[in-house]
Amino acid sequence: MKYLYLTLLAFLLIPSAHAEHKTLHIYQDADLSNHMQSSEAIQKGIEVAFHEVNNEVAGYKVEFKYLNHRGNVIRSKLNYKKFIEDNHALAIFSGIHSPPLIRNRAFINENKALTLVPWAAGGPITRHPLPENWIFRLSVDDKRAGPVIVDFSVQEKKCKSPHLLLEDSPWGNSNLQSMTKALMQHGIATPNVTRFGWNIGDQGARVIIRSILKSNNDCIILVSNSVEGAVIAQAMIDTKANIPLISHWGITGGDFHEKISEKSREKLDLTFIQSCFAFSNEKQTEFSQKVFNTLKELSGGAIKETKDLKSAVGFIHAYDLTKLLIAAIEQSGLSGDIEKDRDSIRLALEKLKTPVEGLVKTYDKPFSVFDENNNINAHEALHKENYCMAKYGAEDEIFIVMNN
């Protein structure tokens, strides 16, 4: 009887073990504390794209695991270790912050962690100095975003003496290099530069703005996330700084639009960079309408109109990037050996055979084999022609206002 019991127990365990084996885990490592809106937008983009294939690909069910690094580089590395040790973990998406990716880039590549970047814009992220590169981005890239922001500031806003107001981080460093080089093309060799930390307060921000005004700078080019961006924008309002504020898109990744309300924004000449698609713009395709309808359906009533989707660019990029991931999985197939499958997907992403329709554009061979000397943009799915400038609308929605 004892042996019959053990035999039945073993039989009952076989299906559950098999079901577990046929499951893929898709991770996210992001700031779920201070930048929850951008992280949630990315999650929604991933989930809608997989929902379109019934959360199943190449015979495997897909489950999602979302980890919180709280903007901390060390915590991000610990999250990556969990991903690497998970025998069902195929790919990991990042969030809004560049520093964890930049500082842990060698670790990510050495441990062959297939990483997909739908927001973080730091230039070095995708440019690992070895041909075997495990990080792919579908987002704004600082090496090309900086020049677009500078060109807009000088050509459209007529800035003759811009002031670079940059976060004191690897992301800020990346923009300092690209923006300084771009300003030189306009005959501005030595721009004024101010750096600030994540803990900047109201008084510190007002001191900075007053100093900029005394220097007779005629616009501010801002590189900031939403928390510090709101403090700086409020300081401009408090000091009646009547000069254009041209920002990187980090301000759109949180509750900036709530802290600096529509009424307050009337006192600012604020423009920021985005990729060239928005659900709020009047012209929508049948494809984009279908995607948004699916999002509404999955939101359980939380999203009814475009204004309800906060940090929308996170959704847009994550959706498109997930579509590319699914295409790569379908192209390469899955063996059940997770390390082998991660590598097969990486190689398939570099050589996608069929175009993939997305929201920003249709992607035809978006990635290629990385070469530090001749092909530094190989793991960048978006390019300068996909960058636009944008503004907040009256209901906090984002409108594309100008192509580059």
We report the CATH number of the domain holding residue 393 as 3.40.50.2300
Structural domain span for residue 123: 2-141+291-384
| Residue 283 belongs to a domain | no
Tokens of 213: 């005004």
Q: Count the alpha carbons within 13 Å of 196 in the hemisphere toward its beta carbon.
A: 24
- Which pTM value belongs to this model? 0.87
| Residue 32 belongs to a domain | yes
Q: What is the mean pLDDT of residues 167-177?
A: 90
Please check whether residues 396 and 355 belong to one and the same domain.
no
Q: What is the pLDDT of residue 341?
A: 98
pLDDT in tens, 217-227: 999 999 998 89
| Residue 129 belongs to a domain | yes
Please check whether residues 317 and 188 belong to one and the same domain.
no
Q: What is the pLDDT of residue 356?
A: 98
The burial of 293, by beta-carbon neighbours within 10 Å (0-12 exposed, 13-18 middle, 19 or more buried), is given as: exposed
Please check whether residues 112 and 48 belong to one and the same domain.
yes
Tokens of 315: 């959704």
Please check whether residues 148 and 91 belong to one and the same domain.
no
Residue 21: pLDDT band (50, 70, 90) is: low
Rounded to whole angstroms, the Cα distance separating 56 from 60 reads 5
Please check whether residues 228 and 326 belong to one and the same domain.
no
Please check whether residues 126 and 61 belong to one and the same domain.
yes
Q: What is the mean pLDDT of residues 95-115?
A: 95
Rounded percentage of the chain residues whose pLDDT exceeds 70: 94
| Residue 281 belongs to a domain | no
| Residue 123 belongs to a domain | yes
The phi and psi torsions of 157 (rounded to 5 degrees) equal: -90, -5
Q: Count the alpha carbons within 13 Å of 51 in the hemisphere toward its beta carbon.
A: 17
Q: Which of 100-109, 284-293, 374-383 has the lowest mean pLDDT?
A: 374-383
pLDDT in tens, 267-320: 999 999 999 999 998 889 999 999 999 999 999 999 999 989 988 999 999 999
Please check whether residues 207 and 326 belong to one and the same domain.
no
| Residue 34 belongs to a domain | yes
Please check whether residues 380 and 398 belong to one and the same domain.
no
| Residue 286 belongs to a domain | no
Please check whether residues 351 and 255 belong to one and the same domain.
no
Q: What is the pLDDT of residue 143?
A: 85
Tokens of 41: 């937008």
Q: What is the mean pLDDT of residues 203-218?
A: 94
226 contacts: CB under 8 Å, gap ≥ 6? 35, 38, 250, 251, 252, 253, 254, 255, 256
Q: Name the pairing type of β-strands 23-30 and 89-93.
A: parallel
pLDDT in tens, 27-56: 999 999 988 989 999 999 999 999 999 999
Which among 184, 179, 188, 189 is positioned nearest to 144, based on CA atoms? 179
Count of domains for the chain = 2
pLDDT in tens, 254-269: 788 999 999 999 999 9
Rounded to whole angstroms, the Cα distance separating 321 from 118 reads 7
